[in-house]
Structure 1
């Protein structure tokens, strides 16, 4: 995109292009970076684009990252608690532990789309902070439960209140950044899951030493203290959590208009003022690419949650103590964090998503192949767990960013993003029953199913790439200016014939 230098000032008109000056009076929403020379977007005179984007980063990314770190921590810390006699204290039998993992995903999947619709109506600050406070509270109650029924109830409500965190934060990020610059932000946000995994292992190893304090087992303190932390930060976030660009009070009118203008040049009019309806849901679900996006995510969620929920279970078979098991669960998470940021930086630098969404999965496949064949060398098996995590968690944010940033408009993006996350999290249910105690120590079934689902993700991503390539070629060969009004273009979102999908 061509940006005038910071000595140039202009009056940005929201009703007439929001600061976008089309070349030859032709407007093309959804352009790729190679097309940015068709536009001149003028930055406010008192700042530069780089400085403004840095301010936006600091107002958005720390908040969403901390929120999702705590959400993921409260979701998977049950795996850490299991190492500190949770099953024995609650008298869990057979597969009851696995069922308690499964029940989380029932409301989590069902309420993804309604949550994103409510997010837009109530604002991210009110909706996400409120949900965060409630799942922090539920986490505390989880530490006080006395039996299997209580564990099921708290896990159900934990899933209900966490349902909006992931798609909601992704949705919020997507409404602030151009497609070419979004991946680093998406991956930094998503890598909070890796930090949560690493932090959770370290925290659990420390909190577990409180075993017996006030007659509470160590696993209870894990839930209670981490829940208190979440609820406390949620109260603070209710006053300072970021909003959509149209609502941001920390931007001047000129800055808000500029942010909206640069996004409009990249993605078209986002229709922030438009309400999302059930009819929109039906319309979005008729798009075959939306279904492919769901399968792209589903294929990786199975190995992702398998590791998140069962890493201590797997590592424990390498003959480590409870504390050593928690500590050994940290390095694979740290490796995935570093790898994810490297892949994201390369993806944004090359302005390309498809290769980075597919190629690194070869690492994941190699990791599972080794785990399926080598059972006598724990050093190699533990090292290969790093390959599984970096491949899986490195690609997940690429897939989400690639798919969601190719959806045009608030209504299509809010529904499509929620659908992808909701449908994909069916993989969470599958993952909860893959690593049963009866399958230890080799867990052949679990590793084989994870490998198969990685192949599903590769296939769906390849089909998605082929689909958008065919669509872009078709749109390039046809006349795009077919007399559509701006309202009609807004309603169509990325289905607008002027929109170009990003590879």
Structure 2
């Protein structure tokens, strides 16, 4: 990438400061932003789904969750506060600053997870899962919103995928970590599954304290970029994120006004369908693999390779999407790969083909987990202005996580060992997600064409204040697809 910036000649004829090196500035932003957000999100997702590892290590027996749907209810209760607090959390993030709010949330769910290792009954497990969902509600929408305020759309996909792939690393690392912690069974009188929660919860609290000092805020609030760098960023991002100011009004009228745009609703629907498949696997992967006849520790280790395959596929899709500067096909193709994995699992009629089933899990994870980051980037980066991006990203993730509620009841104990109903549900919602992505593509393509016709008919004057107020609804704005 060539250097860009400005050469300013002073009145006395001297040459002004050298131009901003855009590549160097991007690297500086990446170093400050990506490692802490990725690690924080990895821990967030690990703390959310490690209940699946704990279930295989004896939690269901100890708490009386072996029969009925108490275990599924414990998974489901997490999503109620998680969904309700998404938009309010993003508003608080903007008011309090990211490093304060995200640190508070991280420390909160780390503390709750530690207490989850001490529960003695189903009712206390339900309580800890509820508060875990409440504290985790702000993490993903807050991080996605923050990322969107630092990068252009053409710069975003690799970084979004690198960030979102933390989920995949969490799944792989979770199995490895659970296999190691599971060997602590009996230490200090605690079962191995309890140590999974206690160790990971304490590690999360420690990470929260560190992150208070390293999480960056919005560009207009950061002290590690100088005035020239900020001026450069402000000019570069103005067309996509607004003018990087705090002038956007945030009353309930403005928040509800965002939902008058039907594309906002479709963005939530397409992430909703994908979330059913993702959470279905994330919560029940150890249970599914355990049904193949492996022991408790071996099950944790066998859960790692499908996550590793998904990680490689996700990064490959992100790089190709950025290279071709196209999003839609790189959501559709991975979803078709995931659908193929569901199809193979449904075609298996007995329990004797474990190798084929295990291979199909690699297709399922590679497809479904690769599409998610592109959904987030495509929709989130298409929203212009602080207000629409703040509300829109929180809505997409909040409503999308309703899919998590569906997923918690997809794999029931009575359907073991083939879990055909769970695979049918995952397949159906994957198809739904692909259909919603196609509808969104049509919507943004139609909007672009309409705006081009209006501009061709005559000059349309749009002031910077109008662009800030309207965001991506401004007639000068063009959506990416």
TM range (shorter): over 0.9
Q: Which moved more, 1:477-486 or 1:222-231?
A: 477-486
Q: Which residue of 2 aligns with 1:55?
A: 28
Contact 2:20–2:229 (8 Å) recurs in 1: no
Q: Which residue of 2 aligns with 1:142?
A: 116
CA change 1:45–1:349 in 2 (3 A) is: same
Q: Which residue of 1 aligns with 2:12?
A: none
| Aligned match for 2:141, one of 167, 188, 192 | 167
| Aligned match for 1:441, one of 417, 421, 424 | 417
| Aligned match for 1:213, one of 187, 194, 206 | 187
Within-5 A mapping of 1:11-410: 45=18, 47-92=20-65, 93-374=67-348, 375=350, 376-410=352-386
CA distance in 1, matches of 2:19, 2:282: 46
CA RMSD of aligned residues (A): 1.6
Q: Does 1:462 align with 2:438?
A: yes
How many residues in Structure 1 have an aligned counterpart in Structure 2? 470
CA distance in 1, matches of 2:166, 2:31: 16
Contact 1:44–1:258 (8 Å) recurs in 2: no
Q: Which residue of 1 aligns with 2:13?
A: none
CA distance in 2, matches of 1:57, 1:312: 34
Cα offsets for 1:62-108 (capped at 9, x unmatched): 01101100000000000000011101111224110110000000000
Q: Which residue of 2 aligns with 1:476?
A: 452
CA distance in 2, matches of 1:2, 1:86: 56
Deviation of 1:260 after TM superposition, in Å, equals 1.6
Gaps of 5+ in 2: 10-15
Q: Which residue of 2 aligns with 1:413?
A: 389
CA change 1:236–1:10 in 2 (3 A) is: farther
CA distance in 2, matches of 1:455, 1:112: 26
Q: Does 1:432 align with 2:408?
A: yes
Q: Does 1:494 align with 2:467?
A: no
Q: Which moved more, 1:410-419 or 1:92-101?
A: 92-101
Q: Would you identify which runs of 4 or more consecutive aligned residues in structure 1 move more than 4 Å?
A: 265-268
Q: Which residue of 2 aligns with 1:24?
A: none
Contact 1:73–1:196 (8 Å) recurs in 2: yes
Please report the TM-score for the alignment, with normalisation by the length of structure 1: 0.91
Gaps of 5+ in 1: 12-42
Deviation of 1:271 after TM superposition, in Å, equals 4.5
CA distance in 2, matches of 1:483, 1:176: 27
Contact 1:267–1:499 (8 Å) recurs in 2: no
Contact 2:83–2:137 (8 Å) recurs in 1: yes
Contact 2:275–2:400 (8 Å) recurs in 1: yes
Q: Which moved more, 1:89-98 or 1:281-290?
A: 89-98
CA distance in 1, matches of 2:414, 2:163: 36
Cα offsets for 1:238-274 (capped at 9, x unmatched): 1221111111101111111111211114555354432
